[in-house]
A and B are shown apart, each in its own frame.
Chain A
Amino acid sequence: MSRLVLVRREQVLRGGQPLAFGIGLMVALVVGVFLLLGSGHDPLRIYERMFEASMGSPKAWSVTLNRAVPLGLAGLAVAVAGSMGLWNIGAEGQIMAGAMGAAWVARVGGDWPALMLIAAMLGAAIVGGALLALGPAVARAHIGVNEIITTLMLNEVAIRLLQWLIHGWWKDPESQNFPLASMLADNAKLPTLFERAHVGVVLAALMIAIFGVAASRTAWGYELRVAGSAGATARYAGISLERKILTVLVLSGGVAGFAGGIELSGNSDRITENLSNGFGFAGIIVAALALMRPSGVAAVAVLFGAVQIGGQSIQTLGVSSSVSTVLQALILFGAIAAGVLSRYKVELDVADAQPLRPTRRESDTTP
């Protein structure tokens, strides 16, 4: 009798993660077939529609890319912290904080020239997100408070703060007493790139590229790797662990805030409670699938954007948009399970084929 066993690889397989992601996608699509059949739909038609709506035309691509922007930036935010072994679960709130910063600048500088206003809005967005992350960063760096809990709880603070602003100070006088913020002026909106895509796509790609280069090519990135590998080694090498934790978490918040600014300026008419739309949490999945590497984040974000947009499009066929959420989750599970393959390889169990090792069953029958 021989069996398949997992054998640890000497070195992690290069290109194992894209492979795992592909397998995850396949698993998700196959399981999805059964889900769709079970709810009385034609899976092929649904998948075709999803593909067309997300990648079937330049217009579809523009919508997908717009969606990939907040996903990618939130993923980058999580990945920046994750590369040092820190978990920023607060990207959702930091996106809100960033959007609030940008919205405040838009209110103050409503008559500024577009370029200046947008630059100021995005700058304020970064500061907003960074400010929300500052508390957890200081607490973690200096007194060792678990950043998972503090960043998570501040999500609630950010959303309540926004509600308070929308219900009060920022309420649009023309909203007939609905709790809505004022509309953004046209000069506060990001210019279009192509079709529906806004220039935020380029800005996000740039941001991810900068972090990618910083992480892999600079002394700063090297220090981050050392600190993430072993804190005591970092101190030995003369790297201040406290300062690294502080900068990394604040930067992470800033990146998430930047996502909020772009989402507001590029994709919305006004700031609303739904602006962050779960991007901060989806970012955790994106970063995890990208193994905390900026280069992977971009690719995963585009694919997730496509799945989300495709999922929305099939609502017109009577399918719940939850299908796309289920698919995202299935991709995650499939990819994580398949990720084992980059660290292990499947082999025939040679040991069982050896005459000296009869199987338990055979030896049981020996008198």
Chain B
Amino acid sequence: MRRTQGSTLRTIGLSLLIIGASLFALVSVACAFSEQGHTDDNDVKVIKNSSAPLFKMGFNFSAIIDHFQSFIHNERNDNASQLKDITQNGSQSKETDISRSFILNGKSDNVSQWIDVLENESETEDNRHHAAYMLGESGDSRAAIPFIKIIEDTEEEDPLRQSVTSYMGKVGNDKHTDMLIGLLDDELLDIPATTSMGDLGDEKAVGPLMDILANESQSENMRMAAARSLGQIGDERAVELLIECLDDDSPYLKSEVAWALGEIGDERAAEPLINMLDEEYEFTVTNSAEALNKLGISADEILIENLDDRDVTVRKNSIYALSSVGGQNTHSVLLEIAEDRTEDKDVRRAAISALGRSEDHDMIDPLTDIMEDENEKKDVRTAVPRALLNIDKDKAITILVEDLSIENMEVRASIVSSFRKLEEDRDKVPMVIEPIGYLLQNDEEWPVRKQAAIVLADIAGEDASGYLDLALNDEHHDVRSIAANKLVALADRNSTYPLIKALNNETNEYTRRYMTLALVQTNDSRAVPTLIQLMQDREEYLNVRMEATEGLGTIGNRTTSRSLMEILKNKDDSPEIRNTAAVSLGQIKDPAAIELLTKIADDEEEYPAIRQSAELSLEMIQGAKAS
């Protein structure tokens, strides 16, 4: 139908063209016009050639054609930007090359290479973002020009332009201040530009930043960024305005303003900052206390007074602030709160955490007493293990391992959970593996066993696999599921039989999938019969069958090919499973599969994806055969 319409219209066009050209030729004999220059282009070559005799006769309408041509080109170029180029014989290659990021880290001139990545539009978005980040962190001025190009290029992805704008202050200099000021009206880039001006530190930006901060119709985020940048620049002109903003309704803005006032260090801010110490928002109080500290004023006394406030939030915030700025003399006050059974449990937990951060060894015994006291609230007791580990890991481990026999289940679980902190201090890990492993096998409460499985796998790695193998038969599903999940990365040959046994009993889809993946991870040929059975079982979960079929490609051998070929042959079976079988046959590289793979690859009624997999597998087998 469209072909007919197109042909008719084409005929009309052609007729008009002939008539028009004939009339024009006659008239142009009597007319004389000056020639105009024009540019040439392949797309309109046919049109220009047809008018060539007329030029000789004195008429040149190339200017009109050029205008027409430019219209066409504009239209087509606009379209072109939206078009997807496809390469010959297939789709374009846009592979992510994250690994390159790591390679570049080791090169001597990283900056120029990161610039290459940033400027290369065929790079993935992630790589270009990472390059922008690395350039920003480098602080190298060579990044400024590429950054500006991206900021100015509206065709670039918005997130990349935003990132680059926010890093501009780290690589730019005073010459770039005006450009950043110009971006304050850009809805997309205004906040990153505001942030960037703080990094740039040019006093020229103070006026525009103060305008933003003073303007209550600006967004909260924009005003917060302006306050922080004013603090970074450190210009005293902003002090009065910042003090006024301490009365703003936004707690988040007030928190940033308090920080900025601390950075500027002007004494006029002292009184207003003291008034902020009973605010509701935790960071406003902490930032105000820290700002006062920078002004040389201790906030300890006022914060300790606030510990008697009726409001729980004020008391908690005062503890957080004391934890940040308080001296040694405040520890006894915090301990009093931690021990005070009439105090709110959250306030007591905050005090225990603060004492942990104090790293004061004198606090170990009293905190241990709290944890071991069966009459204490469990919510208070469970805050202690982590605090003890913050103070002194060695001493804490000794105490905590002994206390794994504490009757309260939540306290035991919190002790186990706190050992995760040893991830940052791996040489201490062997001290806790056995006690946690014992709990994993013997604790009566499944939440403790679950925590034990999680922590053991996270801190002990491969040393945990034996314990996790045993946990595969735990009576509680959550414990089995965690053990299987962790074994996906940790299983070895010793895990093979425990996994096979567990698969016989497990019913949960996700846990079965983890177990299958872990079985593949063992890389043990003894796992092959079970994987084949899982693959062949049509009543098995599809995901489990898929993992088993894929796994056979990884750990299978030529004896496995027959089963894979049976699956691939069977058109009644799931195409996903058959496709995976085709891929696995390629990985095993058994020449016996060539005939079947060839047949599948040539079968026009087969799924294209399966045909493609068969072709790739054939190439792999033939390549292996040839070598």
Is chain B a partner of chain A in the same complex?
no
Q: Which residues of A contact B (CB under 8 A)?
A: none
